[in-house]
A and B are shown apart, each in its own frame.
Chain A
Amino acid sequence: MRKYEIMFIVRPDIADEELDKLVATIETNITNAGAQVTGTERMGKRRLAYTVGKFNDGNYVLIKLDGPGEAIKEIERRLRVTEQVIKFITVRCDEDEKRLAKIKKLRDSKTRGHGSHQQPAPPAVVPAVEAPSTETPTV
């Protein structure tokens, strides 16, 4: 099961209830295609950076889902057909999350296990400070 995020833009001139209905329809499509919706987020109405299909604003919606790769093809086909959706992008996020989890684990283990190793560091600095004073003529 892979994790994906689909962000799409809906036309700005539809009512709120219609937007809710549309998002619910898309979620049903996702479930029918064999994926599970893990979260939905409304980013609200935003100004677009460039004109898309004669619109300057748009309603941004983000849907996070878990599913196989073939499901995405079907979901994207449905989104393309939906007339209210003017733009969408699908991003795969499981590799990214794995990397972040690894970094976090590494960082947590470092702060917990190596906290006692701080003390030997200061004595080691002293000989390093003395060394440059003997090397000044070379510069």
Chain B
Amino acid sequence: MAEENTNQGAPAASETSSSAPAERPSRPQGGPGGPGGRGPRPGGSGRDGGRKFFRRKKVCKFCTEKIDSINYKDVRLLSQFVAESGKIVPRRLTGVCTPHQRRVSEAIKQARNIALLPFASGR
């Protein structure tokens, strides 16, 4: 569909002005190439998107170090799970187990409310 537009545009342009180039450079095909070519999406049910090899096993930081209390007050601990933009990092990147991720999320939201962590920082 993009090609039809450029073809119709080129003869129209050449009619209106002689200085316009006869051939328009073809528009880069962003349409069908994008979503179709992605294929295996990362994350999901622990299969790494159909890859054959395993990514190294990520362990939950709280389970190994036996940190029991996740408080909204320890900003240093919580800021390890917050991206630069201020967003909470998903657990597939940090390797935290689900109950601890839920507690970390809750603590981060409490800390945001009391201005210990930003809601959004940077751009």
Q: Is the CB of B69 within 8 A of A9?
A: no
How many of chain B's residues touch chain A, expressed as a range?
A: 10 to 19
Q: Is the interface of A mostly helix, strand, loop or mixed?
A: strand
Interface presence of B119 (CB below 8 A): yes
Known: A49-B117, A52-B115. A103 touches B68 (CB 8 A): yes
Task: Report the number of A-B residue pairs with Cβ-Cβ less than 8 Å.
Answer: 34
Say which residue of B68, B72, B119 sits within 8 Å of A50 (CB atoms).
B119
Asked whether, in the complex, the Cβ of A100 is within 8 Å of the Cβ of B69, the reply is: yes
Using A89-B110, A91-B110 as known contacts, say yes or no to A50 and B115 having CB atoms under 8 A apart: yes
B63 to chain A, nearest CB (A): 12
> Could you tell me how many residues of chain A have their Cβ less than 8 Å away from some Cβ of chain B?
17
CA separation between A104 and B69, bound complex, in Å?
11
Cβ contact within 8 Å between B68 and A58: no
Residue A58 contacts which of B73, B112, B115, B119 (CB distance < 8 angstroms)?
B115
- Within residues 87 to 123 of chain B, which ones have a CB less than 8 A from any CB in chain A? 110, 112-119, 121
Q: A48 within 8 Å of B by Cβ? A: yes
A58 CA to B112 CA in the complex, in Å?
Answer: 15
> What is the 8 Å Cβ interface bit string for chain B, positions 55-81, against chain A (1 contact, 0 not)?
000000000000011001100000000
- Chain A neighbourhood of B69, CB < 8 A: 96, 100
Binding site for A on B (CB under 8 A): 68-69, 72-73, 110, 112-119, 121
